[in-house]
Amino acid sequence: AGEVGFLKYRHANASEILFDNLTNGNRDRPAIKSQSGTVTYSELCTNAARYGNALRNFGLKRGDRV
C-alpha cells in the first residue's frame, strides 16, 4: 500500500488536505502515525471539529487569532 500524499503547491492549508483525503476515499487511512498510535483522516476530522466547536464555545469567531 502506498502513502497518501499531497502536492504542496495545490493546497492553501492543512484543512484542504484533510478534506481532500476524506472525499477521495481515504477516510480510514492513517493521517498521523506516532509512538502513541495512529489517527485516521476520519478521526482527525472529528477531533478538529471538536476543537473548533470548543473555541466557538469560548466566544471566538471566524478570523480571530488563536
pLDDT, mean of each 10-residue run, the chain (66 residues)? 61 75 88 93 92 95 89
In a domain, 62, yes or no: no
In a domain, 27, yes or no: yes
In a domain, 51, yes or no: yes
The beta-strand segments (E) located in the chain are 30-34, 37-40
In a domain, 24, yes or no: yes
Helix (H, G, I), strand (E, B) or coil at 26: coil
- Predicted TM-score (pTM) above 0.75: no
In a domain, 63, yes or no: no
Q: Which pLDDT value is given to residue 9?
A: 61
Q: Which pLDDT value is given to residue 24?
A: 87
Number of domains in the chain: 1
In a domain, 48, yes or no: yes
In a domain, 53, yes or no: yes
Determine the structural domain holding residue 23 and report its residue range. Answer: 8-57
In a domain, 25, yes or no: yes
Q: Which pLDDT value is given to residue 61?
A: 92
